[in-house]
Amino acid sequence: MFQNLSEKLESAFKGLKGQSRITELNIASTVKEIRRALIDADVNYKIAKEFTDKIKDKAVGEKVINAISPGQLMTKIVKDELTDLMGGQEAVFNAKGNPAVILIAGLQGSGKTTFSGKLANFLKSKKGLSPLLVAADIYRPAAMEQLRVLGEQIGVDVHIEPDNKDAVSIAQNAVKEARSKNKNVVIIDTAGRLAIDEQMMTEVANVRAAVNPQEILFVVDSMTGQDAVNTAKAFNDRLDFTGVVLTKLDGDTRGGAALSIKYTVNKPIKFVSSGEKMDTLDVFYPERMAQRILG
């Protein structure tokens, strides 16, 4: 993951080797290489340009302390700016409530159902909560079955109504069930389509209005690059979600989605998912991710 970007950034910094100080002239090609590396990673031109303009301003304005070389200084500046681009601080995830309601939305195949299982597992095993999973994908019986199997695997109850074709009433019934069974967090896996579709958006918006979730998480496949960012924008315009979940970070992702989403929709990435197993979910820490990118 991010291997290409890491290699290209490393190579960009190499150009500063042997320089005793930073000047506008001697970092020009480094800055250009960083910009190209970002664009190759599927970050859009405007974001890449703004990013490298900031790096240039910071680097030229900074005094190189004796102990640190221009290459090291640039690495630090880029790391700080990458951290900032991805949201700066770790975002707050709110699973408090009676019960807390968490709505999961995204396109079909993005990894929603898998993530719903992982989140339930995470909240149960790491936070000591008692989750209830809800299968609200009324179009695909296979999705309900998939969630049932995941629930069984992690020891979490799953609310399923195979004959109910109304996602809103399924969600409302699930919240009632959670109250009666002392479950303190309800995770609703909604239907997705292969492309953004008015009916799907209306349905998720209706579920949202009916159950008033604390968190609305938008799940997106990190391998889809710029498309991920465009999809995020469409979902956010309609749902005003509270956070992003990036999936399939274990795949050969170039990194564009991770780097551009916060900038584009101004919503934080809250979790990253990197595998099909139930324990491959991590809270997203921008600084750690920046460090990983820089190797």
Q: Per rule CB under 6 A, is residue 274 in the interface with ligand GDP? A: yes
- For the sheet containing 100-106, what is the strand order? 157-159, 131-136, 185-190, 100-106, 215-221, 243-247, 269-273, 281-283
183 in helix, strand or coil? coil
Residues 174-193 that bind ligand GDP (CB under 6 A): 192
Residues 118-157 that bind ligand GDP (CB under 6 A): 143
- Which of 7, 18, 92, 109 contacts ligand GDP by CB under 6 A? 109
Q: Per rule CB under 6 A, is residue 276 in the interface with ligand GDP? A: yes
Whole-number minimum distance, CB 256 to ligand GDP, in Å? 17
> 183 Cβ partners below 8 Å, 6+ apart?
99, 130, 131, 132, 157, 177
Which of these ranges, 67-75, 107-115, 208-216, 258-266, lies near ligand GDP under the rule CB under 6 A?
107-115
Whole-number minimum distance, CB 99 to ligand GDP, in Å? 22
Helices (H), the chain: 3-14, 24-40, 45-61, 70-85, 112-125, 141-154, 167-180, 198-211, 225-239, 256-265, 286-294
Whole-number minimum distance, CB 18 to ligand GDP, in Å? 42
C-alpha–C-alpha distance, residues 184 and 57, integer Å: 49
**Per-residue mark of binding to ligand GDP, 236-265 (x: CB under 6 A):** -----------xx-xx--------------
Residues forming the site for ligand GDP (CB under 6 A):
106, 108-114, 143, 192, 247-248, 250-251, 273-276
